[in-house]
A and B are shown apart, each in its own frame.
Chain A
Amino acid sequence: MTMHIDIPEETLSSILAKAFRNTAFVAGFVITVLILAMAVISYVWTPYDVTRLVISDKTQGPSLAHWFGTDHFGRDILSMIMVGARNSIAVAFVAVGIGMGVGVPLGAFAAARGGLVDEALMRINDLVFAFPALLSAIMITAIFGPGAVNAIIAIGIFNIPVFARVARAGALAIWPREFILAARAAGKSSTQISIEHVLPNIATLLLVQGTIQFALGILAEAGLSYLGLGAQPPMPSWGRMLFDAQTRMVAAPWMAIFPGMAIVITVLGLNLLGDGIADILDPKSRRQR
């Protein structure tokens, strides 16, 4: 199988060299790796046990013993943020997986077939877009009950039309190209062409959209768990921590400040990473510079 990927006269090393000169990419990459590392480390080590309540330590301000302070049950905020990262990342990641897994084949199929199939699929897309995503996610979690898994489904469903649209637009730009014509002449089916020739060429677009949706997923998960519809206690989640913090803003502002910062930094890192990748790999943005 020969693959044609549209990265003219560029080698891996030249891409890497460009990546290291791109501030957004480097910053985004470092932040993302640090957050991931934090989540992974939390499986083997956290400063304190997040399931143990130490009432004598409740709502303490930041100190050397508790860098980010403690919550109303005396749990260490830093440890909870570390464990909460697992939840945020898992929910957003799987939701992106659902969106890509269903949306990309749909979009590629619509582009390959064209005509009525394309029109019908895009109208269904419009239909999903007509529903305010957050409201619908709330309804889905209300129907199936609150919890991390249902939050994933609720967020994932709204990723599907996004990826379908991006995949379709990308694929439509690839289909008229000469190497597609050549593949057709060689007798390949449109499914084969979609997988072997179209997909590799829209991979960058999908990767960039993937990081954007990942970031949006983290925000959405935080919103759902703030409303009590995401991961359930005692599993720490960033949104839930903010909900607990709200009524204690006067006495313990650190309970709100640090989990929020964790969300901001994670989302910022992912967005910078996406911008960086788009800058480095997208030929269009290269031409504009």
Chain B
Amino acid sequence: MNFNTDKRFIHFVKHRKKFFMLSLVMTLVGVILLSTLGLNLGIDFESGSRVDILADDTLTEEEVYEQFAEAGGYEPDDVTLAGDNNNMASATFIGTLSREEIAEVQTHFDELYGQEPSVSTVSPQVGQELAKNAFISVLIASLGIIIYVSIRFQFWYGLAAIVSLAHDAFFILVVFSILQFEVNIPFIAAVLTIVGYSINDTIVTFDRIRENIKYTDRLKTFDDLSYVVDLSLNQTLTRSINTVLTVVFAAAALFILGGEAIRSFSLALLIGLIAGTYSSLFLAAQLWVVWKWKQMERDRKKPKKEEPDELEPEV
């Protein structure tokens, strides 16, 4: 496996419009999905209570409903089964259970299955605060990254990197909307990890572009510029693939073997890794070429500077 020989040279930039279209369509579909299907918010973000039950034998949904009724007339709003042979169940309630109610439920299931169930409750305002904090964290992190990259590289690199990381984070949300997997606090941690990973991945290719530009004497045409980008992407291709593979090993192992508690977390990681690799190979550098070229043309035509607002990317 050697991606660096000339006959294997992949023209990443040539097909950029197809990639832009693909990402644009994905974004539109995503917006539609999110506004119709929405996300399956866990109780971390929506007020309510969740009771996780562990039994020795296989459970059925009816059985769980029955046992809740027996425990003191509780009616869970939803019951889902999990575990290797359905020996776990999570029941969610829209309202918050009081301390006495939690005690009652815990005692009942403890006596029934010999295992004390886990109970978590969130009141509405706390859930909303968590969601808000998470969103603000992402914004601040993005801002920090854009500033850092602008200083170390150039503004256009920073902007392209942020667009591609927003793409990755959004993609995770869309897939979670399709699969209706639960969105909880560890999920937010996963999205933020992907933000970090995606930027890491993009920076590695940008770093190579920056280096190759230094060694190129002639950068007159769009083809010159795109050749440098293609070269850089091809040079870093093996690294990109090997790195994503190793992290995928870890994330996939966590997803398949890691148990219920971090399933949503590791799935978000897996999806994000795939999206992150796609965006750093097919999106970030291509966006940069287009923007950089516009800027070069503008600099050549007239010395006076335009407002950056007029620089619409040709997506």
Are A and B part of the same complex? no
The interface of chain A, by Cβ under 8 A from chain B, is none
The interface of chain B, by Cβ under 8 A from chain A, is none
